[in-house]
């Protein structure tokens, strides 16, 4: 039978993995947005301002979520260390 500490550690491990997957999603999305931005500029240089505004918005949202998830990962790591 699992002890309460082991169950809590398993739960935290699952939360850590979930946050890592979310972090990967946001990093890949941000990288994809950069490539789309560069491609859009190559194809149509006349619309630099709208593309730049959209890229800044996407970059800002991606950065905010990245920082939030990174903070969650650090918090979960600290909680796991306390259990071990």
CA distance 61 to 75: 21
Predicted TM-score (pTM) above 0.85: no
| Per-residue confidence in pLDDT tens, the chain, 84 aa | 668 888 899 999 999 999 999 999 988 988 898 898 899 888 888 888 888 998 899 889 888 999 999 999 999 999 989 887
Q: Is 52 helix (H, G, I), strand (E, B) or coil?
A: helix
Where b means 16+ CB within 10 Å and e means fewer, 26-42 reads beeebeebeeebeebee
Give residue 60's domain range.
Answer: 4-83
Total domains, the chain = 1
Q: How many residues does the chain have?
A: 84
């Amino acid at each position: 039978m699992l002890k309460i500490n082991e169950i809590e550690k398993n739960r935290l491990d699952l939360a850590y993995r979930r946050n890592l997957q979310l972090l990967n999603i946001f990093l890949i999305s941000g990288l994809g947005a950069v490539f789309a931005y560069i491609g859009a500029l190559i194809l149509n240089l006349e619309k630099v301002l709208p593309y730049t505004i959209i890229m800044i918005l996407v970059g800002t949202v991606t950065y905010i979520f990245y920082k939030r998830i990174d903070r969650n990962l650090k918090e979960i790591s600290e909680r796991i260390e306390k259990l071990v």
